[in-house]
Structure 1
Amino acid sequence: MDLYSFPPIAAVLQAAYGALMGLADLLAPLAGPSAAALAVVVVTLLVRAALIPTGIAQAKADRLRSRLAPKLRALQERHRKNPERLQRETMKLYADEKASPFAGCLPVLIQAPIVGVIYSVFLHASIAGHANALLTEELAGVPLGTSVAGSVVHGALDPATAVVFGAIVAVLVIVAEITRRVCRPKTTDAPAPGMPDLRWLGVLQFATAVVALFVPLAAALYLVVTVTWTLVQRIVLRRRFPLHGG
């Protein structure tokens, strides 16, 4: 059974699809044939804006873990041969600091289904049993349902598709490089206990540029807006909630 045909999920997808197509109709006088593409960009911006509180919560959680990192590292050195004692002392440290080792996990869990629904609308040829008309709309003459990989497989890669996706990939690569530089640690040391390894973040961002070649143009637009927003948000929040020793 197709998970997306399950009535509750299909209803959610249909609502998201209807809202997006309705927005495209409103933008038609302004954007003409590219109204649906502009609607994808606007919806992505609205979704990211709505998720700002989760980004703030994540930044606060990172700052907390950064502040506790020296104490956690000391515990690891002291009890590295006694895992059970290490676990007890670690939980006691969090309790004494009135903090949770799972801080920041809830925001990620909250945003996952929201992003998943929007992204699904861009990926599926049918929504709630009917054709996804969004994917037949165009940007610069390229249907939003077109992918580079699919075009190559079917021998249908034309100059317009190459130029549009080339521009998207270029932006993704530029954002990835800026992300790599911004998030590059000041030392080559391993990340502090409980902190994400940001040394790999830029590399993962470059992988997004590759993914963009395999997804429909609508999803590629979503990706380029999302990674750009994420970079700007990370810079702003890092200044507002600097890490310990940052």
Structure 2
Amino acid sequence: MSFFARLVEQLAYLLQPFCHASATAAAIVLFTALVRLATHPLARAAARAQRARTALQPRITELRAKHARDPERLQRAMLELHTEAKVSPFSGLLPGLLQLPAFFLLYHLFSNATIGDGPNTLLDHDLLAAPLGGHWTDALGGGVLGGADLVYLALFAVVAAVATVNFRRARRTAAENPVQAGVPGQGAVGKVAPFLSFLTLVTVAVVPLAAALYVVTSTTWSAVERGMLS
């Protein structure tokens, strides 16, 4: 944790001439971008896998017709088909899973008053009037439409816009390319997945502002990245 705190402080120091009092917040955004850049090759691989699954659609249609009365045999056949094509139906989950450690590091860093044997000085920094270790409920306690409220309203607006884009894209993809049908568990996931983007609004509301900045930056990056790779 101490090493990670020094990393954030070093990035903030580099950004100080450009971002001034908001340098630490900018450092979190830069850190998030670096994490996403590191996982970009995995995102490209996931996009290739998605195209490969699309190419399997004719054979999947044949399997559905052949095993329409035997769901278990259909599932086995679908898994065999994906194995034969060397395509994992879960490959798109890997980039997101690898980002979780970075998110939890930020969460814990800005949730603890101490680091090692000393105070956590990162909690003294803020974005405009919103403390990086604070929460949305803290901003509400300071009055309506104060500086901190405006920060959270901006974050909610970005998250809502990105979630809407992701929702429409997921619904369109599910309608045009139902490749995952017949794979165990994927039917339920396919129905719920388009709505998951809106859970980001809840995340931003309950985590420290520093972690919320990570979430907003990462989800925005994902939306742009998917658009470019599709």
TM-score (ref. length: structure 1): 0.75
Aligned pairs for 1:72-83 (under 5 A) are 72-82=60-70
Write the distance in 1 (CA, Å) between the matches of 2:225 and 2:62: 32
The answer for the alignment partner of 2:3 in structure 1 is: 15
Gaps of 5+ in 2: none
Deviation, 1:184, is 3.6
Write the deviation string for residues 55-87 of structure 1: whole angstroms up to 9, x where unpaired. Answer: 111112222222223323432342244455435
Percent of aligned pairs with the same residue?
36
Compare 46-55 and 143-152 and name the one that shifted more: 143-152
**Alpha-carbon distance in 1 for matches of 2:125, 2:136:** 16
Q: CA RMSD in A?
A: 3.0
Change (3 A) 1:94 1:219: closer
Match in the other structure for 1:135: 123
Alignment of 1:217-236 (within 5 A): 217-236=209-228
Paired amino acid for 1:145: G
Q: Secondary structure at the match of 1:171?
A: helix
Q: Within 5 Å, which residues of 2 pair with 1:33-182?
A: 33-82=21-70, 85-101=73-89, 103-104=91-92, 106-128=94-116, 130-152=118-140, 155-157=141-143, 159-182=146-169
* Residue 20 of structure 2 corresponds to residue 32 of structure 1: yes
Aligned mates of 1:162, 1:98 — CA distance in 2: 49
Separation (CA, whole Å) in 2 of partners of 1:225 and 1:116: 15
Residues 210, 226 of structure 1: CA spacing in aligned structure 2 closer, same or farther, 3 A cutoff? same
Contact 1:148 1:214 in 2 (8 A): yes
Secondary structure of 2:205 counterpart: coil
Q: 2:67, 2:74 within 8 Å by CA — same for their partners in 1?
A: yes
- Aligned positions, number: 223
What CA distance in whole angstroms lies between the structure 2 residues aligned with 1:101 and 1:187?
A: 14
User: TM-score, normalization: structure 2?
Assistant: 0.80
CA distance in 2 between counterparts of 1:190 and 1:236 reads 18
- The DSSP-based 3-state class of the residue aligned with 2:196 is helix
The separation in 2 between residues aligned to 1:144 and 1:181, in whole angstroms, is: 32
**Contact 1:54–1:108 under 8 Å retained in 2:** no
Q: Letter of the 1:180 partner, please give it.
A: F
Gaps of 5+ in 1: 1-12, 239-246
> Match for residue 216 of structure 1?
208
Paired AA for residue 162 in structure 1: D
Other structure's SS at 1:146 match: coil
